[in-house]
C-alpha cells in the first residue's frame, strides 16, 4: 500500500480516469469548469493527506475530487484519506454520479446530498474540514466564492480547516481582487490563511486555457465561538452575477433525467452511417 512516498503513478492515473468516465458533462452556464486529469491526481493526493482520518465536507464538487480521494484509498493506491466524505451539490447529476460510483465500488466512506448553498446548511458542525471549488466570482468581486466558503465554515462549526480552490493569475486583475476578498472574508469570520499553493491547477476552459487556480488553506482561530445557526442567504448583493456577468441565480437544482445507460454515449450525441445495404 502507498504511504505517500511511493505512489504508483500509472495506477493513480488509471483510477482517476475511472472517475472522469463517470462524471457528468459540465454546464458552462452554471460555471462548471473541470480540472485537468493530471492536476486531479496531484490534488487528490494532497486532499487525502490533508484530511487524513477526518470528516470532510465538499461544498459542491463538479471536479469529482471527492470520488478520487475515496477511490484512491479504497484501491490501496493511497494509504491515507478522510474517514468520511460527503458531497453537498445542487446538481442532481453530480450527486447521482457520486452515489452510483460509491455503490458500484463499495466506497463506504463516500456519500452525496442534493443541496443548494443558498439554503441553510443541513449538518452544522458535523465535519472537521471542508473543500470547495466554487464559482470564481470574476463578475462579483468574489461574493459567490464567499457564499460557498461560509457554508464550509458552517459545516465545521467554526472549528476546523478549509481548502478553497479559486482562480490565481498574476497578470489579470480580477483574480487578485477575488483572492483579497476571500482572505478578508475568512479573517472577518474567525479563520486565518494557514498557507497558499499558487497557480497549481489547469482547467478545460476554452476562453482562457492558461488560467490557473490556487489552493487557499484556511484554519479557524483558537477560541472562536461555535456556530449554532445557519440561515438562508437572500442578500441581493451577494447573489448578483453569481455565475458570471448577468448570470444571476434563478435555478435551485439541476435535475437529472433518469436513464438506464449511465457510462455510455447518449443516443442524441451520435448517429450511424451504414454501408449500403448494411442495415
The predicted structure's pLDDT at residue 267 = 57
Helices (H) and strands (E) in the chain — how many of each? 7, 7
Q: How far is CA 200 from CA 15, 132, 166, 212, 235, in A?
A: 21, 15, 10, 6, 33
The predicted structure's pLDDT at residue 261 = 58
pLDDT in tens, 82-100: 999 999 999 999 999 999 9
> Domain ranges in the chain?
9-239
pLDDT in tens, 181-234: 999 999 999 999 999 999 999 998 887 889 999 999 999 999 888 888 999 999
Per-chain mean pLDDT for the chain: 90
| Dihedral of alpha carbons 98, 102, 103, 109, sign | negative
Which of 3.40.50.300, 2.40.50.140, 3.30.360.10, 3.40.50.150 is the CATH number of 9-239? Answer: 3.40.50.150
Q: Which residues of the chain have pLDDT under 50?
A: 1-4, 270
Show Cβ contacts of residue 112 under 8 Å, excluding neighbours closer than 6 positions: 86, 87, 88, 89, 94, 95, 96, 98, 99, 102
Amino acid at each position: 500500500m502507498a504511504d505517500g512516498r511511493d505512489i504508483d503513478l500509472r495506477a493513480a492515473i488509471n483510477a482517476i480516469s475511472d472517475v472522469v468516465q463517470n462524471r457528468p458533462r459540465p454546464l458552462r452556464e452554471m460555471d462548471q469548469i473541470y480540472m485537468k486529469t493530471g492536476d486531479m491526481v496531484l490534488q487528490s493526493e494532497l486532499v487525502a493527506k490533508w484530511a487524513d482520518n477526518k470528516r470532510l465536507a465538499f461544498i459542491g464538487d463538479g471536479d469529482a475530487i471527492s470520488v478520487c480521494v475515496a477511490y484512491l484509498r479504497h484501491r490501496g493506491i493511497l494509504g491515507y484519506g478522510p474517514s468520511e466524505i460527503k458531497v453537498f451539490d445542487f446538481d442532481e447529476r453530480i450527486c447521482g454520479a457520486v452515489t452510483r460510483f460509491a455503490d458500484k465500488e463499495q466506497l463506504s466512506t463516500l456519500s452525496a446530498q442534493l443541496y443548494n448553498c443558498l439554503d441553510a446548511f443541513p449538518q452544522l458542525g458535523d465535519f472537521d474540514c471542508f473543500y470547495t471549488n466554487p464559482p470564481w466570482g470574476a463578475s462579483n468581486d468574489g461574493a459567490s466564492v464567499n457564499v460557498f466558503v461560509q457554508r464550509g465554515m458552517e459545516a465545521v462549526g467554526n472549528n476546523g480547516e478549509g481548502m478553497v480552490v479559486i482562480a490565481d493569475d498574476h497578470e489579470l486583475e480580477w483574480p487578485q481582487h477575488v483572492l483579497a476578498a476571500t482572505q478578508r472574508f475568512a479573517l472577518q469570520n474567525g479563520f486565518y490563511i494557514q498557507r497558499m499553493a499558487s497557480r497549481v491547477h489547469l482547467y478545460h476552459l476554452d476562453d482562457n486555457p492558461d488560467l490557473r487556480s490556487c489552493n487557499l488553506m484556511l484554519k479557524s482561530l483558537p477560541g472562536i465561538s461555535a456556530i449554532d445557526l445557519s440561515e438562508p442567504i437572500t442578500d441581493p448583493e451577494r447573489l448578483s452575477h453569481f455565475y458570471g456577468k448577468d448570470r444571476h441565480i434563478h435555478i435551485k437544482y439541476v435535475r437529472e433525467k433518469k436513464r438506464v445507460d449511465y457510462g455510455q454515449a447518449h443516443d442524441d450525441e451520435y448517429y450511424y452511417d451504414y454501408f449500403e445495404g448494411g442495415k
